[in-house]
Structures are given as C-alpha cells and as structure tokens.
Amino acid sequence: MTDVIEVQGLTKRYRDIIAVDDVSFTIEKDTIYGLLGRNGAGKTTVMSILTAQNFASSGDIRIFGEKPYENARVLSRMCFVRESQKYPDDAKPVHAFRSARLFFPHWDEAFAQRLISDFQLPQNRRIKKLSRGQLSAVGVIIGLASRAEITFFDEPYLGLDAVARQIFYDRLLEDYSEHPRTVILSSHLIDEVANLIERVLVIDRGRILLDETTDAVRDRACTIVGDADAVDRFISGREVIHRESLGRTTSVTVLGRLGADDRARLAALGLDAAPVSLQQLIVRLTQHAAFDTPDVHATIEEVVR
Amino acid sequence: MNRTVNVVRLQLVNKMTYIWIPLIILVGAWVLTLAIYAMLSGNGAPGPFYGGGSQAPLWYFLVVGIQALTFTFPFSQAMSITRREFYLGTLLTAALTAAILSTVFLLGGFVETATRGYGMNGYFFRIDALWAAGWWVAWLAYFAIAMLMFVIGFWAATIYKRWGTIAITVVLVGLGLLLVAAMWLTGRLDAWAEVFAWFGAQGALGLTLWGVLLTALLAGTSYLTLRHAVP
C-alpha cells in the first residue's frame, strides 16, 4: 500500500497545553479512516496541521511526499471540511459551491446538485441564516462533490438529523466505491460510522492510542454473559475492561480474541459471547488508558453505570 | 497563476461588498451633494462649490479591506488555497475595483469640466489640486487613495487575525502615540512651516507616489503577517 500522509513526531504546543504530543502515523491511499477521540483530544488540530491551516510546533509532515505548507500542488488535492467553517459574510450556498468548483479540480457539479436536493438545502438563502444542520450540509456537499484525493471531515454531521446523516454515509460510501480516495472522518457517533470506516485512529490527550483496521479492533475484545460464577471462572487470567451485573447474570468485557478452545469452554460453562460494539470498545479502551492500573477498574465500572 | 485569478472570482462572488455597496455609497453621496449645490445655487450663490462627499466610497475601501480578510480568508483556506494565492488574488481584486472607481471619478470629472459643474459651478469628482497636473495624475491619485484605504484595512485585519484584539488595539494606539509625538516634536522644533512647505513641494503626483510607497510597505507587512495566520 502507498502512504499518502506520513507524520513523524508531530507536536503542537499552545501556551499552556500540549494539544498534540509527539504523534507519528501514516495514512494509506484509498482508505476510509475514522479519527476518533474525545473533545479536545487533538483531532481538529491534527487535521488543521495536515492541511497547512495550522502550524506544528515540531515534527515532520509529508502529504504525497511533499510538505503541504504554501504548496498549491499538494493543497489542491486535499479538502478539509470543518465543523465550524466560516463563509464570506453575504455568501449563499450557491456561492460557496461556485467557489469550490473553481478550486477543486475533480469537482462534480451533477453530484453536487444531487446532494443539494438530497439534503433539501435552500441554495439561495444566506449561509448565516441557515440552520445548524443546513450549515453542516453545505460543508458535507463541498467535501463530497470536491472528490479531493484526501478529504477530511471534521464532525461534519453537527445538527444533521438521522435521515440526513444516513444520506451522508450512503453517498460517501457509494461515491467512494466509484471514485476511491482517502477519507479521514472524525466523529463522536462511533457506532454510526463503524460500518463505513476501514481503519481506526484513536487519539487521546494528544497521543495516538490505537491505529488498526476496524476488523482487528472488533476482534480485540468480546463480552462474556452468563452466570456470575461461571463468568468468573472463564475470565480468570484475562484482562477485564468492563464489568456489569444484574442479579446472578454478569456481563464482562475482556480483551483478546477467542480461539476455538475458548469457544468450547464457553459452551461447556453455558456462557454466551457477544461482540462488542466499536463505540463501547473505544470508550472502554480510552478509559482503560486513562486509568491504567487494576485497582481503578472498579471506579470505571461505577462511572460507566 | 490560474488559482490566483480564481481568488479574484472568489472575492467577487460577494458582489454586495465589492460592487453594490460602493455603488450605493457613491451614487448616494453624489445625489446628496448635488441636491445641496442646487439649493445653494437656487439661492443665488455663485460657487464654485466643493464638498467632501466623494471621499465616502474611498473610506468604504477601508471596510472592504477588513472584510476581504476576516470573512474570506477562513473560507479560502477551506478551498485549499495557499496564503500567497489568497493574498495576491485579494490585492488584485482591490486593484481592479479601485481602478473601476478611479475611472468613474475621472469620467465624472470630465463631465463636470464640460458642463461647468452641472451648470451650477459645483464639483463632486473634480478636485482642482489633483487635476492641475493632468487627468492621469488625478486618476492615479484616486487609485492610490483607494488602494491605501484597502491595504490599511487589510493590514489591520491581518494583525487582528494573527494576534487578536489586544494586539491590533495596542498597535493602533501605538501608532497614534507616534503621530502625536511627531507633532509635538515638529512644534518643539518650530518646523511646521517646513513641513507644510515639503507637502506643498511634493505636489499631487509626489504625494500620490508617497502614498503608493506607504501602500507597498503595508501590503508587504500584511503578507508577512498573513503567512503564519491561522483561519
């Protein structure tokens, strides 16, 4: 696989905080990434620096093998859709799309028109008068129709209703299969995008916590449900990241994938194994990393409950 | 280059800022001025009448300079435009609109000359001091003033964008202090006569060229500031 983005030791320091802390990763060509993490984890900062909108304190970035800063050749192949994008004061969506057509070489006008009707976006209303959801739709349409080789979506769904969000996911996937490209999608609605993203990058307090394929992440843990004693017998020696009890029934999330003999043992003990949702897993892993000592697991459980 | 020209189109997407508002201000100021001249003329005043109304659209270029940066720079970044392309395209837009405005002023000046101030000896576009050295000096002066206004607005806005409200306030207050200090020093040295003589000696063309120099200086500084501004 070719890497379209290479990041080495990226650090971003503000006066009193370190927003991004010595981060290194690569992004493969033609893959959909989920950039996941809590508010303030550093997602937007990383994306801003990669698109040369913000500046790194130290570290090296290569996009298509080149530095992106003031590099029109590289920048014109990228599109960054921000959650809080500002538009010219009196601009209407029609103006924003007309501008995007000027600057994104792969802009598809027919696709843009289709998206405008899909999202029922009023094209001739001033952008500052649009609702939050309609404002997000403007960004989403620019991001999709620009068909840039690398597209960043920074929480693009704010204010979009469930139907509109589904339209976004569907159109993204349809268009991606016809025109493969690299998409980096930052999101809080992890389960909604779980079927979309092929690789997961979890960032927490400025550091990369996880960089794996979505399938591998799913295999990292499972939930064992059944009689409390039997569950305890099964999980001894395994790393538990979450535990819940209701009467005699206990549900425990353990790390590690289950092998054939594990499954046989589960059957013998009368236990069920259920897959963990990506969202749950990432929440637990993030919490796990935050309190990486065994004695605080109890506290986490309280919090989760 | 093509992308720089496209920045002009990006800026002009907002026709309200660059075309309609300046036009409304210009026509409005012109109509008001002529109405006042007509009243004076109707009361038998012989003129010639001069008013400051034609300054209005030139001042508006200050606002345009601010808006060109604060509203359009963040969007230009979303369009994956480099800061350099944005800067050059924006200055090109300003030059184009300033040229159009100067041409309107020039044509208006010719009309006023031909009709002897609309038949009532009143002048809106034609300022004798600027026209004395030739119509092209007048055109250049109008252009230079509009560009200077635009660049002052743009320059202040880049400082605001890069370092925030306190920075621009401190810079403007600092410049005010420098100006007052210079005035104090001039008075102290009893040099006001020399200062006025210097201004007089420069003439319309000389002052215009000094204005161009100041514009270039501010524009250059703006670029250095913009190079590290974050949208």
Domains recognised in chain A with CATH numbers: 3-216 (3.40.50.300), 220-304 (3.30.70)
| CB of A204 closer than 8 Å to CB of A253 | no
Helix, strand, coil fractions of chain B, as percent rounded to 5: 85, 0, 15
- Name the residue type at position A200: V
- Name the residue type at position B92: L
Dump pLDDT digits (tens) for A284-299: 878 777 665 444 344 3
In the DSSP assignment, the letter for residue A242 is E
Q: With CA atoms as reference, report the closest residue to A271 among A221, A219, A229.
A: A229
Dump pLDDT digits (tens) for A71-102: 999 999 999 999 889 998 888 999 999 999 99
Put simply, whether B72 touches A (Cβ < 8 Å) is: yes
Q: Which two tokens stand for residue A36?
A: 């996941």
Rounded to a whole number of angstroms, the distance from the CA of A85 to the nearest CA of chain B is: 7
Q: Which residues contact A123 (CB under 8 A, 6 or more apart)?
A: A92, A93, A94, A97, A116
pLDDT at A122 over 50: yes
| CB of A55 closer than 8 Å to CB of A34 | no
| CB of A239 closer than 8 Å to CB of A255 | yes
Share of chain A above pLDDT 90, in %: 67
End-to-end CA distance of chain A: 42
Q: Across-strand partners of A7?
A: A25, A61
Helix axes A109-118, A93-103, angle to 10 degrees: 150
Q: Which two tokens stand for residue A221?
A: 């843990």
Residue to substitute from A15, A102, A107, interface B, most B β-carbons within 10 A: A102
- Kindly report the pTM of this predicted structure: 0.89
Query: In chain B, which residues have their Cβ closer than 8 Å to the Cβ of A79?
Result: 78, 80
Q: Is the peptide bond before B48 cis (omega within 30 degrees of 0)?
A: yes
Q: Using pLDDT thresholds of 50, 70 and 90, give the confidence band for residue B1.
A: low
- Give A 116-145 residues with CB within 8 A of chain B: 142
Chain B: residue nearest A101 by CA?
Answer: B79
Dump pLDDT digits (tens) for A153-199: 999 988 899 999 999 999 999 999 999 999 999 988 898 899 899 99
Q: Which two tokens stand for residue A101?
A: 């057509």
- Cα B230 from Cα A261, distance rounded (Å): 56
Q: Could you give the C-alpha distances from A120 to A97, A109, A157, A163, in angstroms and in order?
A: 15, 16, 15, 11
B110: left (phi over 0), alpha (psi -120 to 50) or beta: alpha
Dump pLDDT digits (tens) for B105-129: 999 999 999 998 888 888 999 888 8
Chain B: residue nearest A139 by CA?
Answer: B78
Half-sphere exposure in the Cβ direction for B36 (13 Å, CA): 15
In the DSSP assignment, the letter for residue A270 is T
Provide ipTM, 2 decimals. 0.85
